[in-house]
Amino acid sequence: MVVLVTAFDAFGGEALNASWEALKQLPEEIQGNIIVKRQLPTVFHRSFSELKAHIEEHKPDIVLSLGQAAGRRGISIERVAINVDDARIPDNDGQQPIDETIVDNGPSAYFSTLPIKAMSAEINTLGIEASISNTAGTFVCNHIMFSLLHYACVQELDYRGGFIHIPCIKEQVVDKPQLPYMDLTDVVKGLEAAIRAACTATIDIKAVGGRLD
């Protein structure tokens, strides 16, 4: 299989983005599946025009986008993306949409088409913290997840797709001790496990993963 994995560039005045640092360290191949790695700009709409070009070029079986969620603990496997851009800060092109639809007259939301529970469980077997998240936020990460799932749907492409948020890594929190962080090596091992599960399981497992938040 061909797995197209993307991560974002640094945004919000930060020097780096943990998702890109992790993606750079992923192997080129996982259990015989080819990993194509690409960076996307943290910019509404332009991020997806770039991703669309990568999809056209590589014709992936799986499209997995990664992003950083400062303040979260553990790896978050996203369940759902909603049809709204509502930015708390400007993106890297200075745009700050408020309550705008991503796709006019599009559906309200899309669910990940990856086996999210199997991915989370596979990460947990390594003793690495991961869980299901029921919101990818309303910034560029939600935008890319919604866009990649909508594109597969309207173009009738048969790739499966989803999104993973990762927390900050150690060097990002030296002057912000209140923020949780993970070791980059654990993030990379966790992502490898998630991709393994995504390539293996087409039907998700039934496992408890519900939460109040």
Q: Shortest distance, CB of residue 206 to ligand PCA, whole angstroms?
A: 28
Nearer to ligand PCA, 118 or 167 (CB): 167
Torsional sign, CA 140, 147, 67, 204: positive
For residue 81, what are the contacts with CB-CB under 8 A and spacing of at least 6?
A: 109, 110, 112, 136, 142, 143, 145, 146, 149, 163
Catalytic residue among 143, 150, 165, 199: 165
Nearer to ligand PCA, 22 or 199 (CB): 22
Stretch that binds ligand PCA, among 21-29, 62-70, 121-129, 188-196 (CB under 6 A): 62-70
Encode burial over 147-175: b for 16+ CB neighbours within 10 A, e otherwise.
Answer: bbbbbbeeeebebbbbbbbbbbbeebeee
Instruction: Enumerate residues 133-192 that contact ligand PCA by CB under 6 A.
Output: 137, 139-141
Asked if 78 is an active-site residue, the reply is: yes
Using only the alpha carbons of the chain, give its radius of gyration: 16
Nearer to ligand PCA, 100 or 204 (CB): 100
DSSP-derived secondary structure for 97-132: --SB-SSTT--SEEE--S-HHHHHHHHHTTT--EEE
Instruction: Enumerate residues 98-137 that contact ligand PCA by CB under 6 A.
Output: 137
* CA dist., res. 83 & res. 39, Å (int): 23
CB 152 within 8 A of CB 65: no
Catalytic residue among 21, 122, 141, 199: 141
Size of the site for ligand PCA (CB under 6 A): 12
- Asked if 6 interacts with ligand PCA (CB under 6 A), we say no
Asked if 192 is an active-site residue, the reply is: no
Asked if 165 is an active-site residue, the reply is: yes
- Asked if 76 interacts with ligand PCA (CB under 6 A), we say no
- Asked if 97 interacts with ligand PCA (CB under 6 A), we say no
Give catalytic residues, as residue numbers: 78, 141, 165
The residues that touch ligand PCA, with contacts defined as CB under 6 A, are: 8, 11, 17, 19, 42, 67-69, 137, 139-141
